[in-house]
Structure 1
């Protein structure tokens, strides 16, 4: 017959075991994997063989719970949907970077063609291809009229002429008065700019790049 003194340790052991199982199930839904931390967007739990370890992404990066298991789970904010997990660690700014990692626009609304890549707090300033503006919403260089916080007219130094009433063309072309290779494209009433290749000039008679010798005043 089992005595009371024997039952108590057995019950206690079972209670401890159940507590451990419960704690592990809360931290590690599965034996191996990475899981978000409630209310935090840049922290996560990494489970290896059922052992949970809390980890924190570098400043400026966020935990992507949809990242593949063999890929780095800390990614740029544009690639991460945190849902309601809005809290992040305090920023660790440097002289040139607001965060240790990230992409940031350089300049104001009239100077939209540069951006900075921050890597471990070191800022690297990069240029978009000619005539394009950095779009913070996509981390890409885009036509300036498609970038919300860029003044395309001020950036390009060109304003599309008004169209005659009743004659609305969706696309118009204008050669630059100071550079035969450069021409402006008015999409609606917003400007874009482009360049012809070497030994070519923009020919307004055909609205395309042509041999420079075929364009009046532009022969090389």
Structure 2
């Protein structure tokens, strides 16, 4: 190696090692440029650049007593759009996050919780679908990528009925061959309800009862 190259290499390491970050305040955590997952942590005026784990975002609104790397739905990055490349594992598309499972819009109830690259499979309660916009289990008709009729196996009849809550858009139907479950059609979309153990759906009263003779 030439003397000039050696000098340049030494200068590079000196600059790298002695890199100083300017802290806006003596203590705190601050955004770094256009990045949504990097941040500057300052302690007594000394700054250290850090990066959130893959799948998490830096929340500049988090208090000093809260871990600042949080799920995307909890963080508003604004114009900070830069992210590190995805670091998928055998189980997960990102090291951290919640992801809906299923290959089509009729498979809506399972989701994957990824923690440090390891995936844990969960299922929503009966009749509910995983909503990737909120990370909650919700009615399937309010989940954008879920087809409620295909998922629940029931399509609401087109013709309006007189029964319901006084409004034509709310209609009740017993689940075929099942006395404990029924569908409530809301604006043409089904929602599945369960009367619970020992109770049965009464089609004439449009409610649950413990009288078995009302179920046909």
TM-score category by the smaller chain?
0.7 to 0.9
Tell me how many residue pairs correspond in the alignment: 194
> Structure 1 residues 82 and 196 mapped into 2: Cα distance closer, same or farther (>3 Å)?
same
- Give 1:188 deviation, angstroms: 1.4
TM-score, normalising length: structure 1: 0.84
Please list, as runs of the form range in 1=range in 2, the aligned pairs for 1:141-152 lying within 5 A after superposition. 141-152=137-148
- Give 1:213 deviation, angstroms: 2.7
Q: Which runs of 4+ in 1 moved over 3 A?
A: 164-168
CA distance in 2, matches of 1:98, 1:181: 39
Segments of structure 2 that go 5 or more residues without pairing to the other structure are 1-18
8 Å Cα contact 1:28-1:51 kept in structure 2: yes
**What is the CA RMSD across the aligned residues, in angstroms?**
1.9
Q: Which residue of 2 aligns with 1:71?
A: 66
**3-state DSSP of counterpart to 2:125:** coil
Is residue 137 of structure 1 aligned with residue 137 of structure 2? Answer: no
CA distance in 1, matches of 2:150, 2:202: 25
Larger Cα-atom Rg: 1
Please list, as runs of the form range in 1=range in 2, the aligned pairs for 1:109-148 lying within 5 A after superposition. 109-148=105-144
- Give 1:68 deviation, angstroms: 1.1
Encode CA deviations 1:96-148: one digit per residue, 9 max, x unaligned: 20000000000120010111100000000100011000111111111000000
- Give 1:42 deviation, angstroms: 0.3
8 Å Cα contact 1:32-1:47 kept in structure 2: yes
Is residue 184 of structure 1 aligned with residue 183 of structure 2? Answer: yes
2:77 equivalent among 73, 82, 87: 82
**3-state DSSP of counterpart to 2:151:** helix
